[in-house]
Structure 1
Amino acid sequence: MATYDLIVVGAGALGAFHAYHAAKAGQRVLLLEKDQYPIGATVRNFGQVVPSGLAGRWFEYGRRSLEIYRDIQSQTDLTVRANGTVYIASDSDEWVLANELYDRYQAIGYPCELLSKLQCLTKYPLLQPDYVVGGLFFPDELSVEPEQMIHRLIAFAQKKYGVDYRPGSVVVDCQSNYGGAILTLANKQRFQAGRVLICSGHEVRLLFPEQLADAGLVVSKLQMLLVEPVAGVTLPGNMLTGLTIRRYESFQECPSYASIPKPEHLAELQKWGIHILFKQAIDGSFIVGDSHEYADATKAEDLGFHTQDYINQLMLTEARRIVTFPLEVRKTWAGFYSQTKAEIFEYDVDENIRIITGIGGKGMSSGAGYAEASIREMGL
């Protein structure tokens, strides 16, 4: 039976970065993924690394994540592009919040710049002039290609640090013993390690279902659209808009947030958790979205795996209010991630087995930095 220092179950961003940091620290690491390749939240998102939208320790993890992405990108191509992030305010209330967030980040030395309406339209000529009041720009933030990044990260961890990666490995049992813990796969193959870390996303039924059922985990379903490239239209970096300013945690901590009104024309959009983001892929297409629907993690099927045309049309209508170029939809999809009111679910089954899941929508922006701190905390 093969023996390792650490076995990580789940090869999404959270699991893969834990495996990477542990292996970099000299540990013998086995990374197991139940599917032939990761298909969860890590690949069904915008690929935006935007610490500016996070709050508390997650902002600090995100800031560290920027450094980690850049360090790996200097050694191999993770598809990282350093074109920054802009938040476009569409009314005076959103502009107040943008200014307040600017002041806070200036005070702690996180680079950002306020853009006037004219500066926004000059830098981003694809914007509808009537939409824009001003912008808040973060030059250090990054974007990646979500369907490629995780595969390249795992390949790099394999090649440089010897991570043993085994996709298509469904773990059906995990138990501690005198030497650590033993995992059993569906094909009866067994592995042993001093420590086991389970990063299983919104999968709550295969391993430790009772503990996960009591974790207060909620699954969020997000709808996203891929829009065809348009000749001559480019978008450097990540573009987030007024509904994002009204939603993200960093803005919620601004002094004026609690007092800003909720305009009636945004009510239906906010009912479906819609905020409009744009990111251009390397091939010129645009990812546009997204929406949020919720269900208890033990009843995730209630959300369905379809996308609702009504929600897509709400997003497209709002997106057309923001940008001038035609939005011809190539495909739509739903993404799923788990979250918890406690920010993340960290649970020690015993001294050898730990579960970490429920990071919500923060994984791409803060997962690299969080995993580094987590591995350090585990003493690996």
Structure 2
Amino acid sequence: MSIATAPPVPVELPGGRSDLVVVGAGIVGLAHAFEAVRRGLSVTVVERDRRPVGASVRNFGHCCVTAQRGELLDLAAASRTGWVDAAARAGFWAPEAGALVVARSATELAVLEELRDERGADAVRLRTRDEIGDALGRPADARDDLVGGAHLPADLRVNPREAAPRLAAWLARQPGVDILWGTNVVGVESGTVHTSRGPVHGDQVLVCVGHDLDRLHPVEAEAHGIERCRLSMARVEAPPAFRTDAAVLTATSMLRYDGFTAMPSAVPLRAEVTAHSRELLDVVANVMFTRLPDGTVLVGDSHAYDATEIPFQDEGTTELLLREAARVLGVPRVRVTERWQGVYASSGRGPLLVRDVAPGVRALSVTSGIGMTLSFGLAAATFEGALRATA
């Protein structure tokens, strides 16, 4: 499976001044460009690579709405609306398939029941053991380890390898939009983005470069404690009976997202997972998987944090994740067709960095691994003036 590519055409700098210059053609930058176009603004996007190749294409393609909490839940809900609109306009796959959360113990099910009680039965739809087994494609005689689960209908799916490239291609066809591929940004100041091809001018500048913020604004990145989180990911052949487009989450997912961890039963759940699967917690696992339109399945992931990510992947970690995914699917093993290292910005100081680094210049990074989920909601909040910069 290949990532959609940008046309190999010569890059020419725009001759005039744009209303907005966006640095970075990841999904957060592209979502802001999309929102600007919706509002009738001219936009120039500057991207050092020839196509999106970073965090935006290396993930599960899961817009994880329901598992957020507080302000992030509001942003995620707004983002869902933006994703649906963008998919309709740009023509990429975005089924409103939701997410399935598999419960294999009474404690896991209790977390889901508590979330249902808080959010309501429409937002968290509890499922029986057989309903979950049917969704996973498990035969009736291979469901003894299932207790039940929940369907989260607000969650959304996209193909991460196509969504950002197709959105970029659509943007490039719109009047007043320029996308400068293969153009490295070397500095930013009010009204001007300095690039390897010369200056690009705009009334407002948004720096949306994710984990690479330290390349352009190291002081701001260090003040927020940004690190690079690297992930072990794989694509596998789907078991023949596994056909759902919903994302599939497990107990480790319930230990990761704030919507789940705020539930009273999350504390005993962590103790339970520690007792029977400590090795998953040791690699900070979020065992989940998502099916792509071609029938293959994205499986992951583990988390390791450092200022500079190392390029080496531990095979034992990948095999651990694959074994656990196979258990959830109820099959002896899964066959890997691809492996790769995901990456995103992470910080223990908060899920978002929003800094006004100069008049008319804002740096914005999602520092919690939910950039796909929040992207369009952040863009709407930026233009509505609802996203405030922090000191």
Both structures adopt the same fold (TM-score exceeding 0.5): yes
Unaligned runs of 5+ in 2: 1-14
Please name the residue that 2:337 is paired with: 330
Please state how far the C-alpha of 1:18 moved relative to its aligned partner: 0.8
Cα gap change, 1:204 to 1:83, in 2 (>3 Å): closer
Name the structure 1 match of 2:195: 185
State the alpha-carbon separation in 1 of the partners of residues 386 and 176 from structure 2: 20
Q: One-letter code of the match for 1:317?
A: R
Instruction: Report deviation, 1:37.
Output: 0.8
Superposed CA deviations along residues 43-77 of structure 1, whole A, max 9, x for unmatched, are: 00000112012111111111122222222333342
CA drift at 1:182: 1.3
Offset, 1:230: 4.0
Deviation sequence 1:317-350 (CA, Å, 0-9, x none): 2122211244001111111100222211111112
Distance in 2 between residues matched to 1:259 and 1:283, nearest whole Å: 39
Q: Would you say 1:125 and 2:137 are equivalent positions?
A: yes
Work out the CA distance in 1 between the residues paired with 2:195 and 2:66. 40
Partner of 1:278: 289
Give unpaired runs (5+ residues) of structure 1. Answer: none
RMSD over aligned Cα atoms = 1.9
C-alpha contact (below 8 Å) 1:40/1:201 kept by paired residues: no
Query: What is the alpha-carbon distance in structure 1 between the residues aligned to residue 147 and residue 298 of structure 2?
Result: 23
Deviation string, structure 1 residues 238-258 (Cα, Å, up to 9, x no partner): 111121112221111113323
The 3-state SS of whatever aligns with 2:22 is strand
Q: How does 1:196-345 map to 2 (within 5 A)?
A: 196-260=205-269, 261-262=271-272, 263-295=274-306, 299-300=307-308, 303-325=309-331, 326-340=333-347, 341-345=349-353
Question: Does structure 2 retain, via aligned residues, the 8 Å contact 1:89–1:245?
Answer: no
Is the Cα contact below 8 Å between 1:194 and 1:352 reproduced in 2? yes
Aligned-partner residue type, residue 248 of structure 1: Y
Distance in 1, Cα, partners of 2:91 & 2:369? 24
Q: Secondary structure at the match of 1:349?
A: strand
Paired residues in the alignment total 367
User: Displacement of 1:9 after TM fit?
Assistant: 0.2
Identify which of 356, 364, 375 aligns with 2:372: 364
| Alpha-carbon offset, residue 12 of structure 1 | 0.5
Provide the rounded CA distance (Å) in 1 between the counterparts of 2:37 and 2:175: 6
Asked whether the 8 Å contact 2:25–2:52 carries over to 1, the reply is: yes
Amino acid at match of 1:225: A
Of residues 375, 380, 383, the one that matches 1:375 is 383
- Which stretch has the larger CA shift, 205-214 or 220-229? 205-214
Q: Which of 75, 79, 90 is the matching residue for 2:104?
A: 90
Compute the displacement of 1:95 (Å). Answer: 0.8
Q: Which moved more, 1:31-40 or 1:235-244?
A: 235-244
Question: In structure 2, what is the equivalent of residue 45 of structure 1?
Answer: 59
Give the whole-Å Cα distance in 1 for the aligned partners of 2:238 and 2:130.
25
CA distance in 1, matches of 2:353, 2:187: 20
User: C-alpha distance in 2, partners of 1:157/1:376?
Assistant: 21
More off after superposition, 218-227 vs 351-360: 351-360
2:32 matches 1:18:
yes
Give the match's secondary structure for 1:336. Answer: strand
Q: Quick one: which amino acid aligns to residue 209 of structure 2?
A: S
Q: How big is the shift at 1:141?
A: 2.2
Is 1:353–2:365 an aligned residue pair? no
Name 1:75's counterpart in structure 2.
89
Please report how far the alpha carbon of residue 217 of structure 1 lies from its aligned counterpart in structure 2 after TM superposition. Answer: 0.8
Residue 279 of structure 2 aligns with an amino acid whose one-letter code is: E
Q: Which amino acid aligns with 1:38?
A: P
Distance of 1:73 and 1:198 partners within structure 2: 24
Q: Does 1:99 align with 2:108?
A: no
Matched letter for residue 339 of structure 2: T
SS of residue matched to 2:173 = helix
- TM-score, normalized by length of structure 2? 0.89
